[in-house]
Structure 1
Amino acid sequence: MDPARSLPRLLLVTGMSGAGKSSVLDALEDMGWDCVDNLPTALLHDFVHGEQSDDRVAPVAVGMDVRSRGFDPDKLPDLLKSVEGVVPEILYLDCSGVELVRRYDETRRKHPLAEDRPAEDGIARERALTAPLRQIADSLLDTTDLTPAELRDELVRRYGGDSRQPVITIASFGFSRGVSRTADLMFDMRFLDNPHWIDSLRPLTGEDPAVQEHIRKDPSFAATMDRIEGLLTDLIPRYWAAGKPYLAVAFGCTGGRHRSVAAAVDMAARLRAAGFPVNIRHRDLASPPSDTIEDDMARATGYAGGAGI
């Protein structure tokens, strides 16, 4: 092999059964990867190289989980490292237990670790069994809230472009609908003045200029965003140098429609101006505004965030 040529990638796609492994492999195959699902571990070397010896060019994605023959979470990392001529990495697919149960109910399939038990039992066993892989995975992808189109878009961002560039995702979410499951860094923006309590702004979102202007008038906003920007521009190269190619930064507010969205939009623009490639995703932007949610969350957390509370 020409030492000047970068080695192809060997991606182990693993994690929770029902989290979307087949969909991930289909998307990677469409991007030109050589893919196989539920490959017995004893055949890994043969599949990667086959007749290509050490001259493989195309990246390889191998799906393995509790259904795969020889699956051993404690031994898989060493097995991956033993394959020569490739750069091994692990993608762990996660999903909330509630959503996994819903998917099993919808498809009327049994969980592989709960043939004669409720799906919840199998999910709990699998989560404990695969914990070692989750802890050392190069990338974690939670599919709980992702549509098939969003999942494919995320995979294209991570595995369809220049692997020498870090993939940075700036996201917004609402605490009332659960914290972000994919964030590496999370910032709580509920201290900002809340546009929800302004009648003219309530139907709008943080993508609208009027809402952004209102939030920028909060005395805390600019200074806070300056500090977060400084932190991120310092940490991103450090994460990349340490071998972490994917970084998810999430901004949260109560409903996920105003403050967190405006903050995410602002930070994405700042990082792009600094030369970083950035994706942006608003998890709860389409959720309807709710006085009850905003009021209850504000009282519970102590963040008044505007008139009316």
Structure 2
Amino acid sequence: MTLHAPPPPADEAANSQRQRILLVTGVLGAGKTTALRALEDLGWETIDNFPIRLLERLLDRGEEAPKSGRELSENVAIGFDSRTRGFDPKAVVELVKRLSQREDLELTTLFLDCDGPELERRYNETRRRHHLAADMPVSAGIAAEREVMESLRRWADLVVNTTRFSANALQQAMREQFAPEAGPALTLTITSFGFAKGMPPVADFVFDMRFLDNPHWDKVLRPMTGKEAPIGEFIRRDPAFDEAFSRIRDLLLQLIPRFASQGKAYVHIAFGCTGGRHRSVFMAEQMGAALRASGFSPTILHRNLGSRAADLVERGAAQ
């Protein structure tokens, strides 16, 4: 990836109040659609195949949005390419120059490029016709488009060559370059459940707590749940608890940020025991507290905590 970044603004405070506009363009087949999808996942408002000559009108209407209720987002990505009717790269450059003078905008142009042989391979793979090739080989259309787009490529603030990028690699590059400082938070869910009621249908991590001593066999503790202090005290006395809890916590603290860096929006962690009322509930609560202390905001759900059959399940289980 080749980046030609503009110099940082002199007044950071003023810059933070400006609307961020990202123009996404480049040669066809270089990954514009993939880039826009990645930006949308990052919380940007995205508009694809936009008639770029109407950009100034769109932004002016955005200024009047509080009256009409159609305000543009703080971060807006606008995609366009050589197929746009009346497309004129020189006119685009002049438009960008003019808009860059506006104090209410932070405007950046991203150009996606790709080597000719790789573009030919992608066209052959998708069996799409290049709009400038007509009855000529696709290589002729690619060459013609590259010539048309060259002035815009030279002007662009950022140039990304996607020749060796898979779709996932391009998405990762977009996340690294354009993720807002306070981007969309990872949605973290911790669930307790009873194995006798079935596994959670979707979970990234499943931990089996049936190796711990079972409070069910204590008649005093049986009616309680893992959210009550006596159950917690009972489980903590198990010699295996402290080390197991520490290892699971450290594993999650290592892997959850990795999931976030790869663009995963949801992570589901499940703790199971036989009936889903004691050990799994206590572990879910304790792990939630540990992750909150480390800066995460997990949602905790107890799937079988109110199950009437839980006691019968525990009673019939061989521990």
Normalising to structure 2: TM-score of the pair? 0.47
TM-score, length basis structure 1: 0.49
Rg larger for:
2
